[in-house]
Chain A
Amino acid sequence: MSREVFRTEVRQWLEVNCPASCRGSDNILPDIVWGGRQQVFEHPDVERWINALVEIGWTVPSWPVPYGGAGLTDDEVTILSEEMKKIGTYSPLFSYGMSMLAPALLEFATEEQKEEHLPRIASGEIRWCQGYSEPGAGSDLASLQCRAVRRGEEYIVNGQKIWTSSADKSDWIFCLVRTAIDAPKHEGISFLLIDMASPGVTTRPIELISGASPFCETFFDEARVPVANRVHDENLGWTVAKALLAHERTMLSASNRRSKVATTGRALLQVARDALGAEQGILPDDNLRAEIAQVQMDRLCYETLHRMNTEARNSGRGMGPESSMFKLYLSELNQRTSDLRQRLNGHESLVWAGEDLDPQEATMTRQWLYGKAATILGGTSEIQLNIIAKRVLGLPDQEVR
């Protein structure tokens, strides 16, 4: 189909299927609809819009049709997002199932597993969470101890996972478990898909320095998991885990994925002008002007590099495991930006509660605090530097003596 024909079809379909309330700059769409069995829609139009998208496969337009996608080419996906952008809409359905698990399933899962899980991710029926870290296995993830012992056609799982984002709202968990204890640590790990409704699976939310958080602890006490739910071979789970971690870094480095995310509260420059006073927009403090310019210039550079990388990948001139570079740089840049904004805002950025609390400012303060996690989750900055040094620069491993 020619590009123009496809574009026309997209336009016509959007005209018919996208509710008016879900379009334009003041649309009612939430930044993200996570899906899952606990999903509640605040407005019926959002549900209608998502159902229409699911029906035609456009929540995951590039996936094959049998797995809930529409089998679109890269070019067609670009046209689709351009046309959506034109009328101020987007597909709000997003999940860790979509961005992290699905690419790993497409690479490693059996046909039965793909057919069972991918369409339910595409439609938002099932919400997934990630069971990777443990209290004793953070940066050294491969030292994880959560045990899965094979008994007939089942694994019996015992142990604890931590930082399982939104585990309390999720239906299934993809999990790294230890299936061999006398093997080298990377070679005794398996990748299991576990229904969180199984007996013996419980969760508990974690409060962070920013207050309530999506993070949870998840406990497994004699939980029974069918062997058919193991992805890839027994003890080869680390291969799946690494591929999935790269997808996670890519997800974390896709800046401005949603148009509205970046615009909560007053932007950096406006905060500076309000706090310092400005004559015809010019700030009176050269040090602060330079600091603001630095973060803005850094973002310009970052976004250009990210775009270059995407273009290179799409045209087959791939550049390797740069997802670590993007994850590292964006998380630190966001922290610097948020840090500067809060400092510019002076004591107003310190208010936690009280009669004069400005809800938007309080949100920014909590986001600043929550942002401290960005350089830790998904692999700390130090781990990303290790990956760049090893995989991109080819520097030798340190000899352990």
Chain B
Amino acid sequence: MSLLLTVEQLLLKESAAGFAQDRRDMRALRTRRANAGSPHFDHNLWREMVSLGWAAVPFEEEFGGLGLGYAELGIIMEELGRHLVMSPMLSSVVMYGGLVSLAGSEQQKADRLPAIAAGERLGSFAYLESARHTGIGDSPITTTLEKTAVGYRLSGSKQCVLDGGVADEFVVLARNVGDDDAKGMSLVLVPAGVEGLKVSNNLLIDGRSVANISFDALVIESHWLLGQALESAPVADRVLDLAAVALSAEMLGGIQSVFDMTLEYLKVREQFGAKVGSFQALKHRAARWFCEVELSRAVVLDALRAIDHGTDGVSAIASACKARLSDTYDLSGKEGIQMHGGIGVTDEHDVGLFMKHGRVTELLLGDSRYHRLKFAIANGY
């Protein structure tokens, strides 16, 4: 499988790059932080992205999708990340849509996917219960789905639900109890606004919104169970892998932005009567940083293609990808600010916005420590 973009993909990249650059709005990003109740993203902008077909990219044509792959999705994510353009692509298209696609019944898919692809319906995956990301299998999920005489009851709470405040529906990961036949995990569709569901919004350091949600003996109707099986851990793990790769593509764009703006600064900023980029102490760091950016680009492309081609060991490649992008964004945030000097720590300069988004994306879906060990497990050690 080739690692070069096809002609169609190059065209998509060009159009996505133009769109994202045009809609880049750092001022809006700064002002929204004044209000914790700010909308999660610009809804007009989202409708524009939807009209370009972006929300439909990964879905099958029979459900209103474009039937394209992760290679294409990655191109869009990268360009959005390059200009810090916020959207529900990750939360709703990749994760919510991904779960419905992979686990949903035909009816559930028909009810939801066309609306997700049309950007009209938003959703989010509520899986996390601890401060740090954990995989599905190795986390002690305390949210329970209890079988009752008439149906099911959902109790517990979830953290860091991406764009949770604007979700029309949540997919909640819960541990099955009260039914000896099903010891595993379930994925439960919970509509926003149902009685007994509490949603609290939080604005993160980078302007993104996440929600903490809780359920107190929420009555679950049986058609809210996503798919037939009560053993959903593999689907959830798969979607977390897909999301980690899509997020990595977004991170790549941001990393490239920080690198480019810093390199430019090194060429214009003068101290001691010389361009600071002529000093070897900075040159060598910039050169090493460049290598990390290139390696990051390679592994993102590899992971996107591995998903599209159904390569063996996608989970391991996804971890190699997220681990590297997490480390490289961390490096980029640090070097970007340090090489800019004083102006780098002012709110006026964009590098700080990227650094903060870098930290958020680094911890989302698992940092490099988590993914190194996941990679080890995937490789049998």
Contact = CB atoms under 8 A, between A and B. Distances in A.
B133 to A, nearest CB: 16
Contacts of A395: 263, 266-267, 275, 277-278, 283, 286
A304 B301 contact: yes
Contacts of A183: none
Nearest to B320: A297
Contacts of A329: 291, 295
Interface string A366-387: 0000000000000000101110
A343 B345 CA distance: 41
Interface string B263-303: 10011000000110111100110111011001111110110
Interface string A308-327: 10011001010000100100
A283 interface: yes
B373 A273 contact: no
A284 B147 CA distance: 38
Interface of B is mostly: helix
B290 A292 contact: no
B4 A396 contact: no
Nearest to B374: A293
B195 to A, nearest CB: 44
B381 A292 contact: yes
Contacts of A301: 295-296, 298-299, 302, 320, 324
B3 interface: yes
B27 interface: no
B102 interface: no
Interface in A264-287: 269, 272-273, 278, 281-283, 286
A272 B379 CA distance: 14
B188 interface: no
Given A272-B381, A297-B375, A385-B283, A396 B291 contact: no
Contact of A388 (B291, B301, B376): B291
A256 interface: no
A394 B263 CA distance: 9
A302 to B, nearest CB: 7
B4 A300 contact: no
Given A304-B299, A325-B291, A396-B267, A289 B381 contact: yes
Contact of A293 (B3, B274, B296, B375): B375
Interface string B203-232: 000000000000000000000000000000
B283 A290 contact: no
B13 to A, nearest CB: 14
B381 A282 contact: yes
B372 interface: yes
Contacts of B286: 389, 393, 395
Given A293-B376, A382-B284, A398 B278 contact: yes
B173 to A, nearest CB: 25
B89 to A, nearest CB: 24
B288 A385 contact: yes
A110 interface: no
B358 to A, nearest CB: 19
Interface in B329-375: 369, 372-373, 375
A42 interface: no
A390 B287 CA distance: 9
A305 interface: yes
A137 interface: no
A239 interface: no
Nearest to B275: A396
A384 B283 CA distance: 11
Contacts of A292: 376, 381
Contacts of B2: 311
A385 B277 CA distance: 13
B323 interface: yes
B171 interface: no
Contact of B3 (A283, A304, A382): A304
B310 interface: no
B278 A397 contact: yes
B374 to A, nearest CB: 9
Contacts of A384: 287
A388 B301 CA distance: 23
A92 to B, nearest CB: 29
B266 A302 contact: no
A325 B297 CA distance: 14
A399 interface: yes
A325 B287 CA distance: 9
Given A293-B373, A301-B298, A311-B2, 4 more contacts: A294-B372, A304-B299, A329-B291, A329-B295
8 contacts: A278-B381, A290-B373, A292-B381, A297-B319, A297-B324, A305-B294, A386-B280, A395-B263
What 7 A-B pairs have minimum CB-CB distances, sorted nearest first?
Answer: A305-B298, A389-B283, A388-B287, A297-B320, A304-B298, A385-B287, A293-B372
Interface of B: 2-4, 263, 266-267, 274-275, 277-280, 283-284, 286-288, 290-291, 294-299, 301-302, 317, 319-320, 323-324, 369, 372-373, 375-377, 379-381
